[in-house]
Amino acid sequence: MSIIFLILSVLSFAAAIAIKVMFVPASQGIDIAGAHIFFTIKMPVQDLPITESQVNSWLIIFGILFLCLFLTSGLKTRDISVRQLVAEWIVETVTNLVKTNMGEFFEGFAPFVAAILGLSAFSSLSSLLGLFPPTSDINIVGGWALLVFILITYYKMKAGPLIYLRSFGQPVPLLAPLNIISEFATPVSMAFRHYGNVLSGSIISVLVAVGLSELSKMLFRFLPGVLADFPYLRIGIPAVLSVYFDLFSGCLQAFIFAMLTMSYVSGGFPAEEYAARKKKREQRKAAREAVLASNRHKGS
């Protein structure tokens, strides 16, 4: 089964490449037109376009799913395989990262943070396969930021809605309008930061590659025939840029998005108020149980 899961993971990425080759028209020269729209579904309020970024995103999700099944299938306590060591290292690393940045209370956030890291990194690295990276589509990254914003609001309200609303007036009530704007600016800044960095890297890589081609033609135009049109300067230099923009920057933005998620969720959680509220609930519960026990004792 482990081999089957690995094959299915590879086929998920291969399917994305095949769809691009078969259905996305080839570009001529510099093409920065966004994700290709395959078809549009008619909806009552607004039509729903099915784009290249959506298809690639789902295929990457399936690829990560099968890769996780491959790493975690056939777990043993003895004679541990290399893939099990890799799976255990990932779990331990992400768990320690969450504990360090969020505390023991948020230890259950480790799978969610691991999912953010994996999906964001694989989405950005898909450009190495010639695919349209989903992270360069504001709609995809905006959806992630909206989900994180819901989690932030949920944990801010853990101590009660009144304490959450009261927090907008801190440190002084006059700052309430600015605090409200700052609250809704959080998902916007997270989305645009991630999307902007990935998209700008792709644009810069394309512009540099085209510029090197034109410069190569100017410098070697004295050569005869086809030799004058060959882009000599594009050999090696774009690959060096790809190491930064695709590998380093893509993984870095995934790490930053995960760190911001942990920071905003844990930073907005009112730990003291939540502990006090939990203590009051336990005291009320103990008092009710004591009253019920006393009534049962009197009845007997």
Alpha-carbon distance of 145 to 148, in angstroms, equals: 5
User: Over 60: is that where the pLDDT of 29 sits?
Assistant: no
Q: Which two tokens stand for residue 287?
A: 């008092």
Say whether 51 sits in a helix, a strand or coil: strand
Domain annotation covers residue 300 = no
pLDDT digits (tens, 9 = 90+) for 41-71: 998 888 889 999 999 999 999 999 999 999 9
Domain annotation covers residue 280 = no
Radius of gyration of the chain, Cα coordinates, nearest whole angstrom = 26
CA 75-76-77 angle, 5° bins? 140
**Domain region containing 33:** 2-269
Domain annotation covers residue 92 = yes
Domain annotation covers residue 289 = no
Domain annotation covers residue 155 = yes
First to last CA, the chain: 62
Query: Which one has a higher pLDDT value, 270 or 112?
Result: 112
Domain annotation covers residue 46 = yes
pLDDT digits (tens, 9 = 90+) for 83-103: 899 999 999 999 999 999 998
Please state, rounded to an integer, the average pLDDT across all residues of the chain.
Answer: 87
Q: Where are the alpha helices (DSSP H) in the chain?
A: 2-23, 52-72, 82-102, 110-125, 138-156, 161-166, 176-219, 226-229, 237-242, 249-268, 271-299
Report the share of the chain in percent with pLDDT over 70. 97
Domain annotation covers residue 62 = yes
Alpha-carbon distance of 145 to 139, in angstroms, equals: 10
> What is the tally of structural domains in the chain?
1
Contact (CB, 8 A) for 72 and 88: no
pLDDT digits (tens, 9 = 90+) for 199-217: 888 778 778 877 888 888 8
Q: Which two tokens stand for residue 270?
A: 């009112």
Rounded to an integer, the average pLDDT of 30-50 is 84
Query: Which one has a higher pLDDT value, 196 or 237?
Result: 196
Which pLDDT band holds residue 27 (cuts at 50, 70, 90)? low
Domain annotation covers residue 6 = yes
Q: In residues, how long is the chain?
A: 300
Dihedral, 15, 21, 22, 24 alpha carbons, nearest 10: 110
Say whether 53 sits in a helix, a strand or coil: helix
Contact (CB, 8 A) for 16 and 61: no
Q: Quick one: pLDDT at residue 28?
A: 61
| pTM for the whole structure | 0.86
Rounded to an integer, the average pLDDT of 136-146 is 93
